[in-house]
Structure 1
């Protein structure tokens, strides 16, 4: 037992801190007044950083303070650009410290720094984006074109009001303990609403938290079982190479299954920190979206009287990171990406994909930022940057065979595509777990790089089948390249 604790000491401490954050949620939710509540949340957050990081706590604290200082002392036109490059530049330097010191930052400190980057860069883009949106709104008011339909409410724009928090509010947003350890990412608007709108007083936080937490023991048990029976390091051994090829081909499924359980447990606990404190609760009529919050009638929701807020129906979709059932059952890789770490996917979409100035390079920019946010190791590039190549082939077969299929035929094709999607994710996940290029190359070489050959063959065959279909059915043109990956 003691050896197990020593081996997993950092993970156990991290898990304990997440559970502590869940337990104190109901007490924190009842605090008042607002300024005192914000201060307590920030002190708790900074305390968690020091417990996890020790003297390395200087990294997330310094980067956050410098980032929010840059936001307030640079032009609103350029604050987002400067902040983006500083925060990601510091993130890279922060990770390189491990090469110069045996006591470099732990993986848990790295997670905190990653969340700090999302918050600081995200709020800078919120400020700039809301400013641009207000300018555009005034132009439309001066030159109205056509009236909006009143029969059905239109979806809100990304920004419906100007956002310009003070330095103190930015400080509290960056360091509040809710979501600081491992997410989920939420906008500054969501943070501000938590303190100024009545929703957290009337939502049934306990029921949501229990419902969220009930599967965590299962995830942790599965992770411990799978990771101990089928360890990662085994795939680099000679004994593994002597196994039957079918065994070696399916071994990554077990590795990725263990990895998923670890992610599910961490993300679910992180969501529970939000639900126990009430952050991210909005009335369901807002058609809430992960990371974003209400997408319809936001300004009307802010004006909701107390009597209506008391009886409203709420959800926590704003802080939902993982759709676990979706991750296990969706048919295509494209759909799998939409239900995996949804809050971060949202951040990448609104900060990088939508704002990148060169349309042809949007997808590459989004993928590159996603890679460097995770780390600079080769494994992240192998895992994330190879997704579009599989998607190119997948999209062809979806349009040719799956999209218009019905009945048993659709189920059979769907199962085949689910198997291929799952196998592709497992094969890529090995690179994500091995990280270094030499280890990845040793493993993939032992497997003869077979899955990349399969990808290429599927793509070539799909292009040929697509062209044959277009020739035989000249009235139907089926495009085979679709590049929108991160935007949701």
Structure 2
């Protein structure tokens, strides 16, 4: 037992700090003035950074401050670009610190830096996007550029936080340890709108937390029965091919439980403090917040706020049931880490100027945000190749199927999707190219061959199934003409 605690000391400390952040929520929520609440949240956030990181705390603190300075010094027209490259540049330096004679930081510190990158870059894009939508967009609708069209439709007012507002947003303890990502607008609404006073924070927190013990138990069981390092052993290589092929299912199952646990605790921190609570009529979206009627929600009276129904969809990261049951990889990607997916869509996909490269830009930024290891490229950047084949078979056989046929095809697609994710997750977990090569070689890199075969077969079937085009002069008779 002692060896277990020693081996997992950092994770146990991190878990304890998450639970502490959940427990402190009701007290934080009851603080009086907005100013005292902001400072308490920031001081607590910096304290958590120092506890987790020690001397390495300089990295998340310095990166946030540099990003804030970039936002305030650059013009509103270019602040998002300057901040993006500065924050990711510092992220590269942080992860390559040993090349500069500095010690590498822990994985937990890396997570905090990743969250701060999302916050600081995200708010820079909010500032620029709101400026484009509310200023340039109103001057001349006919001359709207693609950049204006690519901003969120929800930008109905100019967002222009002060230096201290940005400081408090970057360092507030809520979501700082492992997310979820939430916009500056959500953060600002938390202090100035009455929703957190009237939502049932305790009920939401308990409801969110109650399944965490199951995630922890399953994670411990999976990692004990099917350890990651086993795939690198000679014993694994001498086992049956079917066993080697299916082993990643256990690895990915363990990884999912870990992620579910962390994300659920992170959501509970938000629930406990009341951040991210909005009336359900806003049709709230993870990461984004209300999608409709935002200005009406801001004008809601105290009496209306007392009786309305709330949700915490804005700070929801994982749709666990969806992750386990959806049939396609495309749908699975939509329900996995939804708040970060929103950030990637808002910051990269929608704003990237070259339409043909939008997907590649989004995937590349997602990869480098996670890290430099080959496993991230193998896992994330190979998704489009499976999606190409999956989309073809989905349209040909699943989309219009009904009854038992739809269930059977759906199960087959679910199995293939799950197997593909498990195969990719093995690379994500093994990280380095040499370790990935050992495992993939033990199964003869078969899944890439399967992907390629699926794609070729799909393209052929798609071409065969297309109705032949009618030659130019031939006319298809209308029903009326046939009768005549």
TM-score range, shorter chain: over 0.9
Residue of 399, 403, 421 corresponding to 2:399? 403
Report the counterpart of residue 331 of structure 1 in structure 2. Answer: 327
Listed one character per residue, the Cα deviations across residues 135-174 of structure 1 (whole Å, up to 9, x for unaligned) are 244236899xxxxxxxxxxxx8131110000000000000
Work out whether 1:270 is the aligned partner of 2:266: yes
Cα distance in 2 for residues equivalent to 1:141 and 1:96: 46
Residue of 433, 444, 449 corresponding to 1:448? 444
Report the counterpart of residue 111 of structure 1 in structure 2. Answer: 111
The alignment's TM-score, normalised by the length of structure 2, stands at 0.94
Q: CA deviation at 1:99?
A: 5.3
Listed one character per residue, the Cα deviations across residues 122-145 of structure 1 (whole Å, up to 9, x for unaligned) are 0000000000001244236899xx
Partners of 1:379 and 1:432 within 8 A in 2? yes
Listed one character per residue, the Cα deviations across residues 258-307 of structure 1 (whole Å, up to 9, x for unaligned) are 00000000000000000000000000000000000000000010000110
Deviates more, 1:280-289 or 1:103-112: 103-112
Report the counterpart of residue 461 of structure 1 in structure 2. Answer: 457
Report the counterpart of residue 382 of structure 1 in structure 2. Answer: 378
Partners of 1:205 and 1:278 within 8 A in 2? yes
Structure 1 pair 443–126 and aligned structure 2 pair: CA distance change class (3 A): same
Structure 1 pair 403–474 and aligned structure 2 pair: CA distance change class (3 A): farther
Cα distance in 2 for residues equivalent to 1:94 and 1:335: 34
Report the counterpart of residue 342 of structure 2 in structure 1. Answer: 346
Report the counterpart of residue 163 of structure 1 in structure 2. Answer: 159
Residue of 315, 318, 333 corresponding to 1:319? 315
Partners of 1:98 and 1:105 within 8 A in 2? no
Residue of 173, 177, 182 corresponding to 2:173? 177
**Structure whose alpha-carbon radius of gyration is higher:** 2
Q: Secondary structure at the match of 1:108?
A: helix
Partners of 1:53 and 1:105 within 8 A in 2? yes
Cα distance in 1 for residues equivalent to 2:247 and 2:168: 45
Cα distance in 1 for residues equivalent to 2:78 and 2:142: 26
Cα distance in 2 for residues equivalent to 1:99 and 1:424: 35
Structure 1 pair 474–13 and aligned structure 2 pair: CA distance change class (3 A): farther
Report the counterpart of residue 147 of structure 2 in structure 1. Answer: none
Partners of 2:244 and 2:442 within 8 A in 1? no
Cα distance in 2 for residues equivalent to 1:7 and 1:95: 23
Report the counterpart of residue 371 of structure 1 in structure 2. Answer: 367
Q: CA deviation at 1:473?
A: 8.2
Partners of 2:389 and 2:454 within 8 A in 1? yes
Work out whether 1:39 is the aligned partner of 2:35: no
Work out whether 1:204 is the aligned partner of 2:200: yes
The alignment's TM-score, normalised by the length of structure 1, stands at 0.93
Cα distance in 1 for residues equivalent to 2:67 and 2:183: 16
Q: CA deviation at 1:441?
A: 1.1
Report the counterpart of residue 5 of structure 1 in structure 2. Answer: 5
**Number of matched pairs:** 465
Q: CA deviation at 1:445?
A: 1.2
Report the counterpart of residue 224 of structure 1 in structure 2. Answer: 220
Report the counterpart of residue 27 of structure 2 in structure 1. Answer: 27
Partners of 2:379 and 2:425 within 8 A in 1? yes
Q: Secondary structure at the match of 2:175?
A: coil
Report the counterpart of residue 147 of structure 1 in structure 2. Answer: none
Cα distance in 1 for residues equivalent to 2:290 and 2:403: 36
Q: CA deviation at 1:101?
A: 5.9
Question: What is the Cα-based RMSD across aligned positions, in Å?
Answer: 1.7
Cα distance in 2 for residues equivalent to 1:405 and 1:8: 48
Cα distance in 1 for residues equivalent to 2:404 and 2:156: 46
Structure 1 pair 474–377 and aligned structure 2 pair: CA distance change class (3 A): farther
Cα distance in 1 for residues equivalent to 2:468 and 2:422: 37
Work out whether 1:92 is the aligned partner of 2:92: yes
Residue of 435, 443, 446 corresponding to 2:431? 435
Q: CA deviation at 1:250?
A: 0.5
Partners of 1:76 and 1:127 within 8 A in 2? yes
Report the counterpart of residue 243 of structure 1 in structure 2. Answer: 239
Listed one character per residue, the Cα deviations across residues 63-85 of structure 1 (whole Å, up to 9, x for unaligned) are 10010011001111111001000
Cα distance in 2 for residues equivalent to 1:103 and 1:74: 32
Q: Secondary structure at the match of 2:466?
A: helix
Work out whether 1:55 is the aligned partner of 2:51: no
Structure 2 residue ranges without an equivalent (≥5): 144-151, 472-484
